[in-house]
Amino acid sequence: MNLRNNKSGFTLLEVIIVIIIVGVLASLALPRLFASVEFSRSQEALDAFSVTRKAMDNCFAISQYTSYANCATFQAIGMDDPGGAAAPFHFTYAIDNANPAGGYTITATRNAVDGTNAGDDITMTVDNAGVVTRAGTGAYLAIQ
């Protein structure tokens, strides 16, 4: 029995081919992974919209269902800023109640915490009839 002819292992060419295959698979999968992670972060904004909308409805009720004029800030509607400095939130929030026909818009703008989509935003607009419209820019175009 000749042990010298019993060679095992991979050739350099086989290793290079495996590295190329893994690289191609990673280049296909990673962008989708990052998009999924960013889309899941948008849930923070949607949750904040839900809480803020309830607070805005309460503020509107306090004004005897006449206007959102006294509901211009988070403090005015009785809640803390959902994107405050207490934790590294992914969005900063703003309320715009300047719609002369009634209603308001809440905007969540992506900040630079854990991501590269800073400046992209998600908006929720509630008109005077209570119809809710959501829209987004950049990474959040698909949010409806």
Q: Which domain holds residue 19?
A: 12-140
pLDDT at 25: 92
Q: What is the pLDDT of residues 47-67, one digit of tens each?
A: 989 999 999 989 888 888 888
Does some domain include residue 1? Answer: no
- Distances in Å between the alpha carbon of 28 and those of 13, 19, 35, 80, 139? 23, 14, 12, 41, 18
pLDDT at 143: 67
User: For residue 29, which amino acid is it?
Assistant: A
Q: Which CATH number does the domain housing residue 103 bear?
A: 3.30.700
Does some domain include residue 5? Answer: no
User: How many distinct structural domains can be found in the chain?
Assistant: 1
- Distances in Å between the alpha carbon of 141 and those of 3, 39, 69? 64, 10, 30
- The answer to whether 127 touches 101, Cβ cutoff 8 Å, is yes
pLDDT at 87: 61
pLDDT at 106: 92
Does some domain include residue 60? Answer: yes
Does some domain include residue 134? Answer: yes
Does some domain include residue 56? Answer: yes
Whole-prediction pTM: 0.74
Q: Return per-residue pLDDT of the chain as tens, 144 residues.
A: 555 666 778 899 999 999 999 999 999 988 888 888 888 888 888 898 999 999 998 988 888 888 888 888 888 888 888 876 666 688 888 998 877 567 899 999 888 777 677 788 899 999 888 889 989 888 787 765
Does some domain include residue 7? Answer: no
